Copies of this chain bind each other. A is one copy, B any other.
Amino acid sequence: MDTIATTEMDDNLLEVIARSLPNLRKSDRRVAEAILAEPSKMIEMTLAELARTAEVSEPTVIRFCSAIGCDGFRDMRVKLARSLAFARTTSHSAISTDDHLGAIIGKIFDFNLSNLNWVRSKLDPSAIATAVAALSKAKRIEFFGFGASAIVARDAQQKFPLFGVPCGAPTDGHQMFMTAAMLQAGDVAVAISNTGQTREVIQATRLARERGATTIGITGMDSPLLRYCDIGIVAETLENTDLYTPTISRLSAMVIIDILSTAVSLAQDDRHRERVADMKRHLAEMRMLGHY
């Protein structure tokens, strides 16, 4: 694990400009203000035009560029364009309530993105590797999830074409228990629980293991569930304030399922992948035509 997608900041020039506004020379500030006022228009402008708009001379614009740490006007424009890609669409209608909403939107995205990044950095590739190996050999896969995690289990189950073997996701406790009881060597049980403390899931997992199935646990922290798992995948998320619903735990679990299913699918032979592609094509047609 070496790549870390820096979510933002280092190339957010607009931010840099806004922050350095007070330290700028008078004329430079004029330029800064002109840019901040309508950034999207600025990137279409030429140096001379920008100078005219900001009512300063051309060299001033260039000096402004180096003042904010850019290597000339060209570089500034490129950095600005990058930064602009992140800028929210705050074009018009800035009502106060709307403004508040904007903050909520921003925070929730930020929260989920940075958490996903965190999960990635903490993820143990070797656990994934072992899990992929186990899943690739499985004759049958059952996903155990309860409550919020049931959604993830169902998501996983829907990816059965990628896994290439029958997949199940029993939802209620009894079904889960019965399913676990019917597993045997060669089968794999994937237990999903953010807290890792959900009784139903733990019991089902223990039983599945007793029956000889390989057990994989996907959880948000080190927890009781992992005691009954041959392979533990921990999707460690950052601390969670009360305001945020723990959507992130589901998101990260789903990304892990995405990784597992993709990796398993890639491990299979070409014919299998052809069948998957074929299936997708048919699904698309089916949707379009509107009948089954």
Which residues from chain A sit less than 8 Å from chain B, CB to CB? Answer: 1, 3, 5, 7, 11, 43-44, 75, 77-79, 81-90, 93, 95, 97-99, 101-102, 104-106, 108-110, 112-114, 116-117, 120-126, 128-129, 132, 147-148, 150-151, 154-155, 158-159, 162, 195, 197-199, 242-245, 247, 250-251, 254-255, 257-259, 261-263, 265-266, 277, 280, 287-288, 290-291
- Complex CA–CA separation, A114 to B93 (angstroms): 23
- Complex CA–CA separation, A104 to B82 (angstroms): 24
- Complex CA–CA separation, A268 to B79 (angstroms): 39
5 residue pairs, one from A and one from B, having the closest CB atoms: A85-B85, A81-B81, A199-B290, A247-B258, A82-B85
**What chain B residues lie within 8 Å of A195 (beta carbons)?**
287
- A-B contact list, 30 entries, CB within 8 Å: A1-B106, A3-B89, A3-B110, A5-B109, A43-B78, A44-B78, A77-B81, A78-B78, A78-B81, A82-B85, A83-B85, A88-B120, A88-B123, A89-B121, A89-B122, A95-B266, A98-B126, A99-B266, A101-B132, A102-B125, A104-B266, A105-B128, A105-B259, A108-B255, A151-B154, A151-B158, A199-B291, A245-B258, A247-B254, A247-B257
Contact of A197 among B82, B199, B288 (CB under 8 A): B288
Distance of A63 from chain B, by nearest CB (Å): 21
* A102 lies within 8 A of B1 (CB): yes
- Complex CA–CA separation, A198 to B97 (angstroms): 34
* A105 lies within 8 A of B85 (CB): no
- Complex CA–CA separation, A151 to B105 (angstroms): 22
Q: Which residue of B lies closest to A105 (CB)?
A: B259
**What chain B residues lie within 8 Å of A108 (beta carbons)?**
255, 258-259, 262
- Complex CA–CA separation, A5 to B113 (angstroms): 8
**What chain B residues lie within 8 Å of A277 (beta carbons)?**
242
* A125 lies within 8 A of B98 (CB): yes
8 more A-B residue pairs beyond the given contacts A7-B117, A245-B261, with a C-beta to C-beta distance below 8 A = A77-B77, A79-B81, A87-B121, A88-B125, A101-B128, A104-B266, A162-B245, A199-B290
